[in-house]
Structure 1
Amino acid sequence: MSKETAAPAQSAPELYVSSPGRPPKETTFREWVVVNQIGISLTILAMLLALHNLYPSLRPYTQPFFELSYYDSAANSYVQGWDDVYFVASAVLALTAIRAIAIEWILQPLARCAGLKRKGSVRLAEQGWQALYYGFIWGVGLYLWKNSHYWFDFGAIWDQWPARPLSGLMKWYLLVELSFLIQQIFVIHVEERRKDHYQMLSHHIITSTLLSSAYIYGFYNVSNVVLCLMDIVDFLLPSAKILKYLKFQNACNVAFGIFMSTWFVTRHILYNVLTWSILKNIPAKMPYGCYSGGELTSTNGYPNALAYMFAPFRSLENPICMNGTIKWIFLSFLISLQVLSIVWFAMIVRVAYGVICTGAADDSRSDEEDEVEANIEDATNGSVRLAAKESVSATPVVNDTAPGLDGRRSNGAASMRARGRGRVPFDQSDRKALLGRIGCDKPT
């Protein structure tokens, strides 16, 4: 063979790609963590438990991982402190293992038994875990709120501040909620990145910062109310998605309507009433100044520059001060959460309004994830035709990561993605198409 006609030598990467019997792609660290999260979490917890049981001299160091710290037997109550960080760390590991076990060993096999394919079973399992956790933790929070002195009396929330003792159940509830938020930050980074990654990351960071700061400052009551108002919505949305995946169309339609109504009432009415109570009742019921041992010791709310803000974080013995600056720091976090909720709810309303009133929906959250079917068989002009023919079926699927609505369409091998803000036309008279756009049916 001549030099001109000889095939060029292939580099190692080219041979790797072109070889039909190439080895599997090398696993990244992120993928390894996802696959082994059960083993990693349980191994660390087992090691801590072994040290706790086999070496009694180490129990003062290992006990905070498994038990609530700072118990006052005389008052039968708890206070907060830095040892609570160990409990949060072990709870993050436990929640990681429980979530993976529930999804991979229980919920996904049940979804397969219900007739769902691999992708659908994974999605149902993920939503099932969300529904299980939020249903349970919301029940605990509602029990604490219902049996409190501030049940639907937002002004009474501030009556006992800055009393720092709290019940064991309240402390466990707040620390588990904080652990779940931290664990969610881990989940959205190690698993496949979603369209609203940064919105969810911002939400979890703001909420975890707000909750941990409120815990240190003794704002247990307001934390309980805020979490109850948030968690009910996070329970209803995955419940509606589960009904959708199981093809309970009418039930999904009803559940989605309940979800939207509950979202509006809890996150945009009651939440704002709570925010207004902070503006109104501080300093009316919570006079500005510094408190020590629950007593007002100084009316000077600015004792030494900014150091007073971090004094409660350093030691329980340090005073807690309240003034306009601290008030507005907490308010800014609450308002930030409200802004995120408004953005998400506006997207939901926009899609629902477009479907019901115009017969076409323009979902601004769908730039990255919407898959519009395209036929590329026209080789003469290289044009791309959208698969809008009757012979092509489209199956919208509700977005699994945040309270918006994304449509997904697939068409086998001869299809491609086309991203953009274009409207997706469909027949308004087709009831299945309408339900499909809100995530309750699969239109054909």
Structure 2
Amino acid sequence: MNKLNPKDSLKARKKTTTTLQDLANYLAKRQIEIPLKVVGFILAGYFLRLPVFEHFIFISNQREDGRYEKSPWDVPFLFFYICVFTALRAATMDYVLFPLAKLVNVPKKKYQRFAEQSYSVFYYGIAFGFGVYVMYDSPWWFDTTYFWRDYPVTDYTKSFKYYYLVQFAYWLQQIFVLQIEAPRKDYKELVMHHINTLLLISLSYCCNFTRVGNAVFVCMDLPDTILALAKALNYCLPGIVCNTTFGIMVVSWLYTRVYLFGCIIWSTLTEPDLYVPQFVLHPPSGNWFPYFVKYIIAGLMIGLYFLILFWTLMIFKVIYRILTEPEAKDVRSDDEDETEYITSMEKIEGDHSTPKLTAKDIKAKTQ
């Protein structure tokens, strides 16, 4: 029997890694071109009134009373909006946010990060607003017992289903972003966060826990919006404006992510026993809640909570820097070495950075 030569094995691994890197770079450089072709093809099929194509663009499975249920067509809907988000993110950064970075005197080396954070402000701000909109008049608005009352809830309003599936598509697209980005110091934490988040989203949607999912989305999106704004201001308007925004973010983070999300975890551990009629696995009736599922959901939430606590430590580190080292606040320098203050702020929940741009790339994007 022939033994595998260690050198050959190493070469094979290197070749595979190189191939994957080449593929990632190829896709990264065509983030607008490839998704737009897919989106254009689907839109053309829809306007030509060809069958099936409408299911990619609009939610499906409407009942006679106007409410919606889950459908296998939710999968192509997710695919379409993953393509939309990929093209939208790249196009917005290239044609809007890079020129804006130049306009507001962001250091050239920070154009990319400024654009990324500005896009995050745009997305998370809209997501938070829409999440509050669909939640505000609901019975589970600040009443965690309604996460579990009436389980299983298998039907949704039109706006709720759009909201949940678009959020799902966004987070699926973030996995692609994570794979093409330049590696960061907290890459492992970000991977854990994304996997955990996607497991929670998919489990909540498939197993009819969307009420609690809506609450978790809202808790996460508010501080994400303000944090991204603080990071963007860190590059163009450092000092009191940036620090004030960061202070507001700290309050929102502690209230929503640490306190409210903690309440949601406690509700998941204690309230299903009080309000779920029966713990049973019966898919035809929408029941996907045998008793052990409670611990799976709670376990995923607790895992996410530990990551939140990790980033909370980063927040307090930034606060310490702001209070003790005011000279570290100026981020306009083009020096190769960054201050620890800047690095600490960027490490809070990571930066979703696309592959590192060369000077030639930056010049081309800002001309």
TM class by shorter chain equals 0.7 to 0.9
Aligned: 1:342 with 2:332: no
Asked whether the equivalents of residues 348 and 404 of structure 1 are also in contact (C-alpha less than 8 Å), the reply is no
Q: Tell me if 1:212 matches 2:240.
A: no
User: Residue deviations 1:61-116, cap 9 Å, x none?
Assistant: x22211101111x2111001221011011110000111011100011101112222
Alignment of 1:1-400 (within 5 A): 28-54=22-48, 56=50, 59-60=51-52, 62-72=53-63, 74-289=64-279, 301=280, 308=281, 312=283, 317=284, 319-353=286-320, 356=323, 397-398=342-343
Cα distance in structure 2, aligned partners of 1:110 and 1:358:
29
CA contact (8 A) 1:200 1:402 kept: no
Q: Tell me if structure 2 keeps the 8 A contact 1:287–1:322.
A: no
Instruction: State the distance in 2 between where 1:95 and 1:344 align.
Output: 26
How far the C-alpha of 1:288 sits from its partner, in A, is 2.5
Q: Is the 8 A contact 2:117 2:229 kept in 1?
A: yes
- For residues 203 and 81 of structure 1, do their structure 2 counterparts lie closer, same or farther at Cα, with a shift above 3 Å needed? same
Query: What amino acid is the match of 1:32?
Result: Y
Cα contact 2:171–2:198 (8 A) shared by 1: yes
Distance in 2, Cα, partners of 1:32 & 1:403 = 29
Indicate how the Cα distance of structure 1 residues 372 and 207 shifts in structure 2: closer, same or farther if over 3 A, else same. Answer: same
The change in CA–CA distance for 1:326 and 1:248 in structure 2 (over 3 A counts) is: same
Mapped to 2, the partners of 1:193 and 1:230 lie a distance apart of 23
CA contact (8 A) 2:93 2:119 kept: yes
1:274–1:51 CA distance, 2 compared to 1 (3 A): same
Q: Tell me, in whole angstroms, the C-alpha distance in 2 between the residues paired with 1:220 and 1:124.
A: 33
Matches of 1:132 and 1:232 in 2, distance apart? Answer: 12
Which whole-Å CA distance do the structure 1 matches of 2:339 and 2:186 have between them? 23
Deviation at 1:402, TM superposition (A): 4.5
Q: Which has the higher contact order (CA 8 A, sep 6+)?
A: 2
Counterpart residue type for residue 59 of structure 2 = L
Check conservation: 2:153, 2:208, Cα contact below 8 A.
yes
- Distance in 2, matches of 1:272 and 1:402, equals 22
- Distance in 1, matches of 2:234 and 2:61, equals 46
* C-alpha distance in 1 between matches for 2:131 and 2:59: 18
Query: Is the contact made by 2:81 and 2:169 (CA closer than 8 Å) also made in structure 1?
Result: yes
Unaligned runs of 5+ in 2: 1-20, 329-334, 352-367
Q: Could you say if the C-alpha distance between residues 351 and 327 of structure 1 is closer, same or farther in structure 2, counting changes exceeding 3 Å?
A: same
Change (3 A) 1:253 1:128: same
Rg larger in structure: 1
Cα-to-partner distance string for 1:313-365 (whole Å, 9 max, x where unaligned): xxxx355142320111111111111011011112322453366469999xxxx
Contact 2:118 2:229 in 1 (8 A): yes
Paired residue type of 2:38: I
TM-score by length of 2: 0.81
Residue type at the aligned position of 2:176: F
Determine helix, strand or coil for the equivalent of 1:115.
Answer: coil
CA RMSD of aligned residues (A): 2.7
Question: 1:154, 1:274 within 8 Å by CA — same for their partners in 2?
Answer: yes
Q: Is the Cα–Cα contact under 8 Å of residues 140 and 173 in structure 1 kept in the other structure?
A: yes
Structure 1 residues 32-81: Cα deviation after superposition (integer angstroms, max 9, x where no partner): 2112110000001112222334463xx13x22211101111x21110012
SS in 1 for 2:274: coil
Aligned partner of 1:121: which letter? Y
**TM superposition shift of 1:224:** 0.7
What secondary structure sits across from 2:155 in the alignment? Answer: coil
How far apart in 1 are the matches of 2:345 and 2:79?
27
Matched-pair contact (CA < 8 Å) for 1:150–1:156: yes
Distance in 2 (CA, whole Å) between partners of 1:355 and 1:395 is 11
Question: What is the CA–CA distance in structure 2 between the aligned matches of 1:404 and 1:40, rounded to whole Å?
Answer: 29
Report if the CA contact (8 A) 2:219-2:256 is conserved.
Answer: yes
